Structure 1
Amino acid sequence: MRRRSLLGAAVATVAMSGTRTAVADSRTRSRRVNTWVSMPQLCEPANMPPPPFTQDNLVLADATLRQTVRVTIGGRRMRLRFSNAFGGANLPITAVTVALATKPGSGAVEPGTTRRVTFNRRSSVDIPVGALAVSDPLDFALKPGTNVTVSVYLADGQASSSITAHPGSRTTSHLLAGNHVEADDLPGATTTDHWYFLSGIEVVAEASGVVVIGDSLTDGRGSTTNGNDRWPDRLFDRLQAERRPVAVLNQAAGGNRVLHDGLGPSVLARLDRDLLAQSGVAWLLLFEGINDIGTAAPDESSQKKVAEDLLAGYEQIIDRAHAHDLPVFGATLLPFGGSFYDDPGGFREAARQTVNRWIRTSRRFDAVIDFDAAVRDPAAPRQLLPAVDVGDHLHLNPAGYRALAEAVPTRLFRQ
């Protein structure tokens, strides 16, 4: 069955097969579900832990790293995931604790909530190059939307200038010399707005997750540091208000592309890791491609080719997700008129229009979410509405991210 409905400025074309719907509906039994993720990527030199926590080829030696994240759905038990996907040496984690944060991005935790985390019943874990470590299950009940603090101590540090991180955290982390994983506060700590090593939190819950794959517009450039007001955050708030048990998993990174590596691996390269390897996923929402267009040469032949390649890339993603019975929702690309991606000949805009036309009309996606319609200026459709433009004519402010979240029909996430 195929149907189209208009919700405000956004059009959602629903074409889910009965098989995929039935599979998604069956996934609400109590089971492990990721409640929070961050896309692992190679940390750029400018985003490494500040001195003295980075010294030549040694990172975070005899140092505590305290990071705060906001989970989506709640659950009865939890597990942590740590990634050494891009590390140039083994990642020797000496001790880990988890606690309830006093507030987003704070170095303080709620007294009495700190619990030690183990790995195969040991307090430490040595993660090989390229590998992932999952902690033992921990009885630690979480409510939806809880701010959780994870503290990590590395006695020996990671002996490499290549480490795994998520620079676009939009959340403040804290660094302090010595082992302070059980401290209620870290006075005098050095702050940095990046995440390192931590890549996921699972809970046991009767819920399912939607993975959102995107670039800086999903990673939240222009959102509020420690404000948790990216559009996936706002989408979760809407789902929670409707009592829909859906985890919203933000697998985005600034500068990311569909076809080629940029800041982080391409979507085609990271799909297995960031979608299929996640726990409890029932849907994929794909909102990416603007960096592919913006980094291709601004001439007719180059832009025609990148548009054609993007459509082929989307089809690959859809086919691979459908092979795992995952419906795929496609979002249209936003206007960028007046930004550094704009070109006098309008060739990049022509490529964007080609891609958006295909997203809207090909009927390859199980649903279409028209983000372009939600935030473009009706008087100048090649540009963002001034009220949602953060100022660079490419990224959105918090009001713009709220508009994207409101453009997603929550009925797509039927349990």
Structure 2
Amino acid sequence: MKRRALLGVTAAVPAAWTLRPDKKRWIHTWTAMPQLTEPANLPPAPFTGTSSVLVDTTLRQTVHVTAGGSKVRFRFSNAFGGAALPITAAAVARPVDGRAGVPAIVPGSSRPLTFGGRASATVPVGAQVVSDPVALPVGRGANLTITVYLASGQATLSLTSHPGSRTTSYLIAGDQHTAVDLPGAVGVAHWYLISGVEVEADVPAMAIVGDSLTDGRGSTTDGNDRWPDQVRGARVALLNQAAGGNRVLNDGLGPNVLARLDRDVLATSGVDRMLIFEGVNDIGTAPATVDAQKALLEELISAYEQIVTRAHAVDIRVYGATITPFGGNTGYDDPDGYREATRTAVNSAIRHNRIFDGVADFDAAVRDPALPRQLRAGYDTGDHLHLNPAGYRAIAEAVPSPWLR
């Protein structure tokens, strides 16, 4: 199959990539890339002990779905757990006023989650568990509340989470998983244990693989204004499979893209297309020398090609996005411009070398026209790398609309 990298233009689509409009199946409508929780991101005392976490704890979290359906089910991950994860009870409900990051739920909306008909489940080390379907109609862009209770907790300090939730979760002692409100609960801006929400729908999903710029650093806590949240007119589910500090080639915060591609894209239900917007951390952490940056450029381009090859093998289209500026960032900028030269060369390859099935020029959307190695001042959080909600809106508007059909 011939690939074309013209802006917003995709290659011919094999029949296997076309989902019948009258056929419903289980697709992911929300995801959070599982990570090993760093010590600073573990639940606060008393919910973390000397050798265990979440003992006799109720954990309430909200998520923002992207595609609707009449039934939902939930995935709980123990990908990085150091011991089995025993879930005593779990429930789903609608958050009060439909808001994200609130501890209260709409009275009467709570539905118990079961696992093979049982009220509890134990997730083995490295595994995940999928709940039974729940008849709870949910609309596109709605928020859902997921509450779990762990009686014995997890006998380890190796906990699976997604630290960059940009959404407040709540912890409280005792079994209160059906409580309408949780007065006195402790709020933390992390997600724990949950990794996916699925709906029964007749639309496909696009996995977005990225780093902190997609995870939403600089966005508003409980505001759901990361750039994937601000994409308008999508008729597909948009799955945020990003993590701050993530890299394409080497492990950083979470496994590298080449290592996590199978889990986060190829094995994620409903995905028939993906967008990769990642590489800035590879460039920024490689030494600012001619030889190091030349080697990094070759390896990064090769990695993109490997991602495309592996995705095409299972009939998934692959789109690429250009890397946005970081000029002036204290950690990644370099006075001799070697890293900027690599960014420019990577973007040129993305735009012109026919690596991907289509290209989104995020660089052009947010760079300063007068100083193209820097972000527009109105989009910059101040660290000259991450974007504010206005900048993320510009990114969202640069996603070609044909990809969203």
Q: How does 1:117-128 map to 2 (within 5 A)?
A: 117-128=113-124
CA contact (8 A) 2:4 2:358 kept: no
Cα distance change on mapping 1:310 and 1:27 into 2, 3 Å? farther
Judging changes above 3 Å, is the alpha-carbon distance between structure 1 residues 25 and 263 closer, same or farther for their aligned structure 2 residues? same
Match of 1:48 in 2: 42
Deviations 1:334-378 (A, max 9, x none): 010000200111111111111111100111200000000000001
Match of 2:297 in 1: 307
User: Aligned partners of 1:269 and 1:2: how far apart in 2?
Assistant: 24
> RMSD of the TM alignment (CA)?
1.2
CA distance in 2: counterparts of 1:209 and 1:345, whole angstroms: 42
Q: Is the 8 A contact 1:27 1:208 kept in 2?
A: no
Q: Tell me if structure 2 keeps the 8 A contact 1:333–1:372.
A: yes
Alpha-carbon separation, structure 1, partners of 2:244 and 2:260? 15
Shift of 1:282: 1.4
Amino acid at match of 2:369: P
58, 63, 80: which one pairs with 2:57? 63
CA deviation after TM superposition for structure 1 residue 411, in Å: 1.4
CA distance in 2, matches of 1:324, 1:146: 30
Long gaps (5+) in structure 2: none
Whole-Å separation in 2 of the counterparts to 1:292 and 1:18 = 31
Pair 1:24-2:17 in alignment = yes
Distance 1:18 1:53 in 2: 50
Q: Could you tell me which residue of structure 2 aligns to residue 331 of structure 1?
A: 321
Which residue in 1 is equivalent to 2:264? Answer: 274
Q: How does 1:14-413 map to 2 (within 5 A)?
A: 14-19=9-14, 22-28=15-21, 29-102=23-96, 103-235=99-231, 238-240=232-234, 244=235, 246-339=236-329, 340-413=331-404
Using the alignment, how far apart are the partners of 2:42 and 2:54 within structure 1?
10
Deviation at 1:78? 1.0
C-alpha displacement of 1:26: 2.4
What letter is aligned with 1:26?
L
Shift of 1:25: 2.5
CA 353–172 in structure 1, closer or farther in 2 if over 3 Å, else same: same
- Change in 2 beyond 3 A, CA 1:4/1:47: closer
How many angstroms does 1:2 deviate by? 7.4
Name the TM-score, length of structure 1 as normaliser: 0.95
SS in 2 for 1:55: coil
1:27 CA displacement = 4.8
Distance 1:63 1:357 in 2: 51
Cα separation, partners in 2 of 1:145 and 1:335, compared to 1, 3 Å: same
Structure with greater strand share of residues: 1
Helix, strand or coil: the match of 1:138? Answer: coil
Aligned residue number for residue 8 of structure 1: none
Q: Structure 1 runs of 4+ off > 3 angstroms?
A: 1-5
TM-score normalised to the size of structure 2?
A: 0.97
Q: For this pair of structures, how many residues does the alignment match? A: 400
d(CA) in 2 for partners of 1:302, 1:58:
42
Contact 1:27 1:282 in 2 (8 A): no
Letter in 1 for 2:104: A
How far apart, CA to CA, are the structure 2 residues paired with 1:59 and 1:286?
34
